A = this chain, B = another copy of it.
Amino acid sequence: MFKAKVKAEVIKNIIDIASPLVTEAKFNITPKGISLRAVDPAHVAMVDVDVKASSFEEYKADEMEMGIDLDKLGGIMKLANANDTVSLEYDEDTNKLIIRIGNLVRKMGLLDTAGMPDPKIPNLNLPAKITIKASELFQGVRASEAVSDHISLTATKDSFELFAEGDTDVVNLKLPKDLLLELNTPEKCRSLFSIDYFSNMVKPVKGEEPITMHLGNDNPIKLEFDFTEKNGHAVYLLAPRIESE
């Protein structure tokens, strides 16, 4: 059983966060809320999104799974404005999700979740924690895209640094501790990442909202942020690139 009412924006957020990595996903429904965990086809990145029942205007659910085509659900959400309330209901008899937007009733066929994996979040040793405004990070990422296909992130006790280098051009965003929302690391940490992937993980976060990064040495990065007035939480993991030199 699953029956809920929610602002279209919340569903749009979930889709914006997951769709850079996967086109289909398994939504895990519990009485406490909805979550989704998926790995991209190249096994380079993982996304874990969690929206609490308190994000919903109404919410009633047993434990269940729904296999969802994210493009299709995204298209349906475009029929609503961000602030419109949409109603969602699982129809057991037909295995469809019934979506109501205003007077419109949209029944969406669900995908078989049998083949969809349940990725485990690996245990990682990521000693550095950096919290930064999304807009600041995004400017550095955008600048880097024009210069290289990978980017290094470095945290020291005093600063966080983003660095990308091409044949002739260089991008460097070095932020001292007092320009960051938080910086905490017992040692210098540095890892290298694909800009394409990293850029997709920063884009869903709007303007001045904070993003928190957990960084290690030649280790994956864990990037997390809240949404929907902190009732939604997203975590990305991204594998490091091995430096060829």
Chain A residues with a Cβ under 8 A of chain B: 72, 75-76, 79, 96, 101-109, 136, 139-140, 142-143, 146, 167-175, 179
B76, B146, B169, B174: the one contacting A143 at CB < 8 Å is: B76
With a CB–CB cut-off of 8 A, which chain B residues contact A170? 96, 105-107
Q: Contact check: which of B103, B146, B173 meets A105 at CB < 8 Å? A: B173
Given contacts A79-B142, A143-B79, contact A104 B72 (CB under 8 A): no
- State which of B72, B76, B103, B168 has its C-beta within 8 Å of the C-beta of A179: B103
Complex CA gap A102/B140 in Å reads 10
Neighbouring B residues of A107 by C-beta, 8 Å: 169-172
Contacting residue for A169 out of B102, B103, B106, CB 8 A: B106
Count identical subunits in the complex: 3
Quick check: A72 and B103 within 8 Å, CB to CB?
A: no
11 contacts between A and B (CB under 8 A): A75-B146, A79-B139, A96-B168, A103-B173, A103-B175, A104-B140, A105-B170, A105-B172, A105-B173, A105-B174, A106-B172
B residues in contact with A103, CB < 8 Å = 136, 173-175, 179
Of A139, A142, A168, which is in contact with the most chain B CB atoms at under 10 Å from its CB? Answer: A168
Which of B109, B139, B168 contacts A101 (CB under 8 A)?
B139
Residues of B within 8 A of A75 (CB): 146
Give the 10 A-B residue pairs with the shortest CB-CB distance, closest first: A109-B168, A107-B170, A105-B172, A104-B173, A75-B146, A79-B143, A108-B169, A109-B169, A106-B171, A103-B175
